Amino acid sequence: MKRWYGKLLGALAGAALFRVNPLLGALIGLLIGHAFDTDWFKLRRDNPYAQLGLTSDASDAEVEQAYRRLIAQYHPDRVAGAAPELRKQAETKAREINGAYDRIKTLRKR
């Protein structure tokens, strides 16, 4: 479990707001707190162009060039002999770059 404080604050706020039935209020607050802790209400979506350092009016060639530059920089094979934490960070970053590139390609095919 990554975060827990949203659940605690939600339960306390729910119990305080529902004075008639504080147990029901705490339960509702706990559920809302859990939703916030697990990012159910994530308001922003990641911009695939921003992840590649581009704007949405970039040409296909610019997208391809940015993708190749970033994946060459962050490819996990470049840090194969490094510490496990560094390899994991490189894998995560490469996964994000690949995902952004795939989303851009999908958006442009429509």
57-86 per-position pLDDT tens digit: 899 999 999 999 999 998 888 888 888 888
pLDDT of residue 1: 47
pLDDT of residue 27: 81
| Position 91 in a domain | yes
What CATH number is given to the structural domain containing 85?
A: 1.10.287.110
Residue ranges of the chain with per-residue pLDDT less than 70: 1-3, 39-45, 110
Tell whether 57 and 90 lie within a shared domain: yes
Q: What is the pTM of this model?
A: 0.57
Task: Please report which residue ranges of 20-59 form alpha helices under DSSP H.
Answer: 22-37, 48-51
Range of the domain at 30: 5-37
Under DSSP, the state recorded for 33 is H
Alpha carbons within 13 A on the beta-carbon side of 97: 22
Tell whether 24 and 55 lie within a shared domain: no
Residue that is written with structure tokens 């391809």 in the block: 64
| Position 42 in a domain | no
Tell whether 11 and 56 lie within a shared domain: no
| Position 43 in a domain | no
pLDDT of residue 93: 92
- Cα separation, 88 vs 82, whole angstroms: 10
Tell whether 33 and 78 lie within a shared domain: no
Tell whether 86 and 54 lie within a shared domain: yes
